[in-house]
């Protein structure tokens, strides 16, 4: 390589790196749909709650600190609680965006029903989920804090990613510490500073309320504060609040000998403790209250350990939800390298067999196709790599390989719609082959770029717009695809039967984007598309500034 050629190659890579950064900035500038903000003080619509319960007299009776609303009947009796998955689950996205569900729980904090309130996902996906009552029935019986796992949730066929995102939102909302309807207040900073020194970074101050509010003394339950050290030993115990008579509570609060029986012992030890077997007697004058406090300590210790175990299981279990669909998708991606080295794509038989496999496996089975709708949704909300690692892997191959390797493996080897066009394209001598005029071709080649620009402008100004109908790829999710998507796909395939690779060359905006970021021998040249991209970025930033001002 000559010195001039070397400098040209370096310049090409630098210019193209800037070009790729420009595209990345454009994607990051895509706004999330402007839905009405959901705050912790806004309950779900009461009419939908009544429909779920089939009780028209149900009313809200206030909200607790956990963001849950109590429900009462006409007589004032408590019939359960209700909560919503947003804003806690706002970072969980499906195919195009987050979804919000409301969760109805009984008085024991077990799920009675789940109902989808709204979704930023593609309309066909959402409709498929809403039309599947068996999906929502899977949550019934889950308990708060115990929850469930998305690994044992059956997604809705054709709308797997959307349904799993809803399930993950439910799991996240009911995860963590079990709320207490009797003792709803969390530990305050003042309580924490009074119990834990500033230089103590390892001790915890825990409360018993969420684990033991059903332990009744003389007149009601008692909530305790437990200071737990780094070795999991209880260093201090104190009564925080009680529904028992104050004279009895005060007797227990000031009886040091009673508390000494519990301090210095580990939570594991206390969780299996039998107060009666260890000869723990009640405080004189407050027997029932003190024995209830002893049972509260045992129940709280057991509950804390159980919560830690469940949290540990969730954190140490697979962070990514791998299914057979994801493994097959990744296997197909890896197979490209192997088959290329073997020369399988050089053989007409081998090439045709691969194309058929791509259509059947990636297209109609996994449905893991790239599209503007997917790209816009994930750019605005984040990539759903945990729920769809196969689709995320496909996106990585489609948009990260071309800028580095001068190759386009997605369009050439992995796109089902491209594969079908290769299978139906006319040969060079075919009678059905239409040869377009050289004067017309340059104008037709502008269609993908114009469509891409129009889609970007639309999604910047109208973030809720559904781009799925702008391309034929949604048709491969045939179980939920609309007639318009199916018709679009058929028309483009029929056109490609006469014009070789007609849609890929003259219609595909996603393919145009991939081609724009692909490293080529002329990447060092400033293109007209670069000016358009810079203009779009200025527009997006301007709209963002206008909305925030």
| Structure-token pair, residue 402 | 């071309």
pTM equals 0.70
Q: What is the mean pLDDT of each run of 10 residues along the chain (549 residues)?
A: 60 84 93 58 77 78 72 78 82 79 84 87 86 89 68 76 86 73 77 77 82 76 88 88 82 86 90 84 79 88 79 54 89 91 87 94 92 88 83 93 89 94 90 89 93 95 88 88 88 94 94 92 85 94 87
CA 286 to chain centre: 51
> What pLDDT sits at residue 6?
57
> What pLDDT sits at residue 337?
87
> What pLDDT sits at residue 497?
93
| Structure-token pair, residue 311 | 């949290």
Q: Kindly report the three-state secondary structure assignment for every residue of 60-121.
A: EEEECCCCCEEEECCCCCEEEEEEECCCCCCCCCCCCCCEEEEEEECCCCEEEEEEEEEECC
Fold for domain 189-316? Sufe protein. Chain: A (3.90.1010)
> What pLDDT sits at residue 310?
62
From the number of C-beta atoms within 10 Å of its C-beta (0-12, 13-18, 19+), residue 197 rates as exposed
Helix, strand, or coil (residue 444): helix
Q: Where are the domains of the chain?
A: 46-173, 189-316, 324-518
> What pLDDT sits at residue 39?
46
Q: Kindly report the three-state secondary structure assignment for every residue of 277-332.
A: CCCCCCECCEHHHHHHHHHHHHHHHHHHHHHHHHHHHHHHCCCCCCCHHHHHHHHH
- Across the beta sheet with 111-119, the strand order is 59-63, 69-72, 78-84, 99-105, 111-119
Classify strands 59-63 and 69-72 as parallel, antiparallel or unpaired.
antiparallel
> What pLDDT sits at residue 178?
62
């Amino acid at each position: 390589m000559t010195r001039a050629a070397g400098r040209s190659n370096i310049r090409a890579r630098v210019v193209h790196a800037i070009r790729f950064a420009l595209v990345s900035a454009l994607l990051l500038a895509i706004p999330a749909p402007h839905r009405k903000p959901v705050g912790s003080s806004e309950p779900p619509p009461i009419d939908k709650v009544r429909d779920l319960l089939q009780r028209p007299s149900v009313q809200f009776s206030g909200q607790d600190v956990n963001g849950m609303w109590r429900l009462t009947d006409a007589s004032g009796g408590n019939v359960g609680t209700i909560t919503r998955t947003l804003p806690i689950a706002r970072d969980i996205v499906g195919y195009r965006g987050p979804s919000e569900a409301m969760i109805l729980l009984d008085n024991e904090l077990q799920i009675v029903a789940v109902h989808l309130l709204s979704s930023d996902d593609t309309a066909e996906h959402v409709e498929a989920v809403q039309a599947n009552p068996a999906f929502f029935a899977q949550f019934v019986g889950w308990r708060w804090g115990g929850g469930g796992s998305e690994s044992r949730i059956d997604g809705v066929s054709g709308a797997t990613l959307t349904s799993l995102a809803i399930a993950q939102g439910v799991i996240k909302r009911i995860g963590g510490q079990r709320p207490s309807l009797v003792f709803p207040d969390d530990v305050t900073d003042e309580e924490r500073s009074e119990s834990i020194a500033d230089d103590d970074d390892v001790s915890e101050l825990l409360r018993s309320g969420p684990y033991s509010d059903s332990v009744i003394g003389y007149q009601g339950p008692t909530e305790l504060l437990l200071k737990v050290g780094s070795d999991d030993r209880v260093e201090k115990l104190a009564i925080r609040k009680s529904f028992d008579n104050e004279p009895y509570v005060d007797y227990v609060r000031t009886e040091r000998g009673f508390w000494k029986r519990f301090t210095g012992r580990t939570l594991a030890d206390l969780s299996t403790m039998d107060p009666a077997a260890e000869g723990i007697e009640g405080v004189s004058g407050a027997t029932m209250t003190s024995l209830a406090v002893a049972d509260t300590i045992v129940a709280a210790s057991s509950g804390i350990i159980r919560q830690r175990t469940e949290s540990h299981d969730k954190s140490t279990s697979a962070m990514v939800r791998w299914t057979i669909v994801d493994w097959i998708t990744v296997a197909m991606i890896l197979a490209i390298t192997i088959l290329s080295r073997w020369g399988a794509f050089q053989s007409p038989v081998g090439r045709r067999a691969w194309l058929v496999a791509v259509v059947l496996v990636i297209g109609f089975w996994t449905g893991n196709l790239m599209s503007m709708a997917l790209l816009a949704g994930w750019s605005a909300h984040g990539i759903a790599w945990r729920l769809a690692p196969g689709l995320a892997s496909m996106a990585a191959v489609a948009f990260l390989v071309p800028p580095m390797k001068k190759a386009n493996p997605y369009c050439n080897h992995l796109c089902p719609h491209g594969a079908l066009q290769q299978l139906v394209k006319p040969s060079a001598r075919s009678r059905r082959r239409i040869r377009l005029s050289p004067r017309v071709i340059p104008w037709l080649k502008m269609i993908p770029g114009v469509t891409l620009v129009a889609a970007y402008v639309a999604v910047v100004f109208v973030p809720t717009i559904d781009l799925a109908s702008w391309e034929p790829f949604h048709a491969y999710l045939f179980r939920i695809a609309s007639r318009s998507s199916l018709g679009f796909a058929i028309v483009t395939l029929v056109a490609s039967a006469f014009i070789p690779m007609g849609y890929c060359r003259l219609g595909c905006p996603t393919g145009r984007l991939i081609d724009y970021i692909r490293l080529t021998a002329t990447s060092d040249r400033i293109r007209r598309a670069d000016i358009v991209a810079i203009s779009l970025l200025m527009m997006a930033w301007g709209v963002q500034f206008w909305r925030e001002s």
